[in-house]
Amino acid sequence: MRDFSDDHRWLSLNTATVRKQGDLTQIIDACARHGIRAIDPWRDQVAAVGLDRAARAVRDAGLELSGYCRGGMFASDAARRGEVRDDNRRCVDEAKALGAPCIVLVVGGLPQYSRPGSVVSKDIAAARAQVDDGIAGMLDYARQANMPLAIEPLHPAYAADRACVNTTKQALDICNRLDPARSGALGVALDVYHIWWDPEVLAQIERAGKDRLLAFHVCDWMVPTRDILNDRGMMGDGVIDIKSLRAAVEAVGFAGYSEIEIFSNDWWTKSMDEVLRTCIERHRTVV
């Protein structure tokens, strides 16, 4: 297991962590000030400053990307299938322009939440079937662009509205169905927030192996959780044994970034510099 106590070479910042403190160019400047070498930007943050300007800012700062957030939201009614396809193709093109190593897929939940305006449904099995089909379609396009897709299983609390892929096993089953050759084109993004509770998580990490582990995200689970979406804690403030999970992914060969992705009404109120300083300190002591 790599020793992070002395430096933060392998810290990446998911830019949602400080999305309320500045735009993407300001976040990139702050990363430069703090010696942060990699980011994972969100599409809306890229769009807000313009794709060309975002790509130039990343390049000029000498930053790497650890991913691009996010493709997905596959379930919809028939009228929106074209929208889903085109939206995800644009995502691939943007990821390519930004030099991302993979796209993080938040696959979406029931159609009415995944693509608002779609027909109301309670059929989660049907949504899951659409997700399979949606990933298969996107994968064809992404392969041509040589852009890997990383399915992110989300915590079951988000099954209805954000992602109906809720366990590492489920995500890996999709990978095996759509990419049985383990070509590198399809894998998983594992966020400790979403997977820490799973009694099978260590076995599934081993099953994933290096070639399916495309990204590793950290934050913490707060007790109590005061907001189901926006109370993801700073590493060390909650109950997740983060080091054990990092040890597990590294034991199968993962050697990429530890990406900090915090959505928190608390941390969004602090200054960008305070957040980044704390991220670096906790990366060294807790991650």
Provide the binding-site residues for its own copies, judged by CB under 8 A: 110, 113, 122-124, 128, 155-157, 159-161, 164, 166-167, 170, 196-199, 221, 223-226, 228-229, 238-241
Which is closer to its own copies, CB of 38 or CB of 195? 195
DSSP assignment of 103-134: EEEE-BSSHHHHSTTSPP---HHHHHHHHHHH
Could you give the strand order of the β-sheet that contains 103-106, starting from the edge strand earlier in sequence? 64-65, 38-40, 11-14, 258-260, 213-218, 186-191, 149-151, 103-106, 68-72
Shortest reach from residue 227's CB to its own copies, in Å: 9
Which is closer to its own copies, CB of 10 or CB of 113? 113
Shortest reach from residue 158's CB to its own copies, in Å: 9
Shortest reach from residue 161's CB to its own copies, in Å: 5
Shortest reach from residue 14's CB to its own copies, in Å: 22
Print burial letters for 192-212: b (CB count within 10 Å at least 16), e (below 16).
bbbbbebeebbebbeebebeb
Q: Which helix (H) or strand (E) holds 150?
A: strand 149-151
Which is closer to its own copies, CB of 239 or CB of 255? 239
Shortest reach from residue 199's CB to its own copies, in Å: 5
Q: Burial, 136: exposed, middle or buried (Cβ in 10 Å; 0-12, 13-18, 19+)?
A: middle
Token pair for residue 210? 């290096």
By DSSP bridging, strand 232-233 and strand 220-221 are antiparallel
Shortest reach from residue 134's CB to its own copies, in Å: 16
Which is closer to its own copies, CB of 172 or CB of 185? 172
Residues 6+ apart with CB under 8 A from 188: 150, 151, 152, 153, 168, 171, 172, 175, 208, 212, 213, 214, 215
Which is closer to its own copies, CB of 20 or CB of 197? 197
Which is closer to its own copies, CB of 37 or CB of 162? 162
